[in-house]
Amino acid sequence: MHVDHLLRLDRLDLSLVWGEESLLGQEIAGVTATDLEDPERFLQPGEVVLSGLVWWTPDGTPAKTDHFVSALRRAGAVALLAGEETHGHVPRELADACRRHRVALIAVPPHTSFRAITEAVYLRQWGELSRRPTGHHALPENVRLDLDRALETGATAGELLDRAFAHLGSPACHLLTASGRTVTRTGAAAELPAAAAVEALRGGRGTTLRVEAEGTDFDTWYLHLPEEGQVPPRVLHEISELLGRHRRRQDQHRAARGPAAARLVEAIGALRADTDHLRGVLAACGLGDRPAYTVVVASLEPHGDAGADGIAALTEALGHLTSVAFAVAPCAGAEVAAVLAHEADTADGGADATRDRLREVWPLVQACRPASSWQAGLSTPVTAPGELNAALTQARYALAAARTTTRPAPRVAGLHDLDGLALLLGGIPDAVREVYRETVLGPLLDGGRSGSMLLDTLEVFLAHDCSWTRTAEALHIHVNTVHYRVERIEVLTGRDLSRLDDRVDLSAALLCR
């Protein structure tokens, strides 16, 4: 295992502070955790050093930092993994010292435990040993042959997991996604809520091993055993490799269904609904003859490859829903759309339940890529294929409103969430908002500094329920000045601020800025 392999482990969420390519290519021989000021005598060549930086203080001398890093260099350490929990960051003088002494420096976020890093290193090393040609496998031959036959005959992930662990006494084991969704579990494993599963993956108790497959940040699989030491590492790696083969086959089948999903999204985006064609593409996606459908449109920012990342993110989020089949495909621009087929007719309460469940898991999915920000809009349920085109329009409108709301991201919005003028206007296309704003406020927008002053006055005046006195107090001006400015606003806009409908027009125009 090399230093840069640690940076590629998504579940550890490590970040490189400094390190040249040649240093990151060094092989890791072991791990030592220390907060001694001079740890040289306790280190072995080739080790990575974990330090919580308890020895470092902001008011200390740079010489202490230099002495610590030079000790690592003399001992032959290949990298320093510095925890951010104690000080909230990795000190700059530590980075400077690592650069001088050519020791790679990696930041460890507070939510990643040193134990998780240690286990990752040693499990990887055991896996590399098990992959070397030794003439034998860790799994008993009869078990390995049985698993190979089961894989070839199309066994599910759950069947493979149960068979793989049966000869070990069937210990508790979960197969989890990066967002905490349980793909399957052995019979001895208790149900694990998604939030608790994410905490377990981030370095809690037990053993966690990534299943190597062509996944994304959002849909990577992990084997998690809540108890340590129940399964030999080489055995666990062979089971992981088996599940990786199963996952690659599953991905191939999913990719084969991609064209049908793309035709479905294209059909619901057509200007006119073709009911017969919609029924056909729904059937091709396995969604035919269902009592109700919901359309979801999501946008991932930065969106990257909408054909992979966006689809993977939305697919993972929808995978947390129970009793819902769905098809996902790219939509307009960087958006992705999904058609959800419900097993039973859904009234408004069912739509709200779908939205609420997505809101619960949305932060878990976004946490798979913390730098991302994404929103989704949901339509109301429809009961006929011919209504899916209108449902797509609804979902896009709700998505546009979600992008403009002040609620913390990630955000999931339905039409019932459009309970205010600002949210309602948020769904209107930008070009339409711009024309409306310029039509209503044009003279104020073109008035330079005086126009800006009048716009500020109008905003404060409306915010204070058209109270002359409170507006004057808020702007720190005389009440007569407020009267003068409001009169100018009315003359320039042709609106009467004593009329409710004119006040609403001006308020809407301000919200369109």
Pick the CATH number of 430-511 from 1.10.10.2840, 1.10.3720.10, 3.30.420.40, 3.40.50.2300: 1.10.10.2840
Give CA–CA dist 208/220, Å, rounded: 13
Mean pLDDT along residues 26-52: 90
Question: What is the bridge-based pairing of β-strands 182-185 and 207-210?
Answer: unpaired
- pLDDT category, 347, cuts 50, 70, 90? very low
Tell me the sheet residues that pair with 116. none
pLDDT range class, residue 293, cuts 50, 70, 90: very high
Q: Among 3.10.129.10, 3.30.70.270, 3.60.20.10, 3.40.50.300, what is the CATH number of 269-426?
A: 3.30.70.270
Averaged over 255-269, what is the pLDDT? 92
What residue spans in the chain does CATH classification 3.30.70.270 cover? 269-426
DSSP 277-289: HHHHHHHHTT--S
pLDDT at 426: 67
Average pLDDT value for the chain = 85
pLDDT bin (cut points 50, 70, 90) of residue 339 is very high
- pLDDT value of residue 481: 92
Would you state the structure tokens that stand for residue 277, as one six-digit string? 């064609």
Signed CA dihedral, 413, 301, 331, 290: sign only:
negative
Total-model pTM: 0.62
Instruction: Output Rg (C-alpha) for the chain, integer angstroms.
Output: 29
- The domain covering 3-117 belongs, at the CATH homologous superfamily level, to HprK N-terminal domain-like (3.40.1390.20)
CA-closest candidate to residue 412, choices 368, 355, 372: 355
Question: Mean per-residue pLDDT for 213-237?
Answer: 85
Q: Which of 109, 112, 80, 75 is nearest to 96 (CA)?
A: 80
pLDDT of residue 163: 92
pLDDT of 202 reads: 79
Q: What DSSP assignment string belongs to 419-483?
A: -SHHHHHHTS-HHHHHHHHHHHHHHHHTSHHHHHHHHHHHHHHHHTTT-HHHHHHHHTS-HHHHH
Nearest one of 423, 413, 422 to 299, comparing CA atoms:
413
In sequence order, the β-bridge partners of residue 260 are none
Confidence band, pLDDT 50/70/90 cuts, at residue 52: very high
Q: Which residues belong to CATH 3.30.450.40 in the chain?
A: 137-249
More confident residue, 66 or 448: 66
Instruction: State yes or no: pLDDT of 414 exceeds 70.
Output: yes
Comparing CA positions, the residue from 127, 116, 107 lying closest to residue 31 is: 116
Q: pLDDT tens digit string along 165-220?
A: 988 888 899 999 999 999 999 988 999 999 999 988 876 678 888 888 877 888 88
User: Whose CA is closest to 330, among 303, 354, 357?
Assistant: 303
Q: What is the pLDDT of residue 423?
A: 64
Q: What's the pLDDT tens digit per position in 441-465?
A: 888 887 677 888 899 999 999 999 9
Own/partner long-range contacts of 128-132 (Cβ < 8 Å, ≥24 apart): 128/1, 129/234, 130/233, 130/234, 130/237, 130/238, 131/237
* pLDDT tens digits, one per residue of 274-292: 999 999 999 999 999 899 9
**What would be the CATH architecture of the domain defined by 137-249?**
2-Layer Sandwich (3.30)
CATH 3.40.1390.20 domain locations along the chain: 3-117
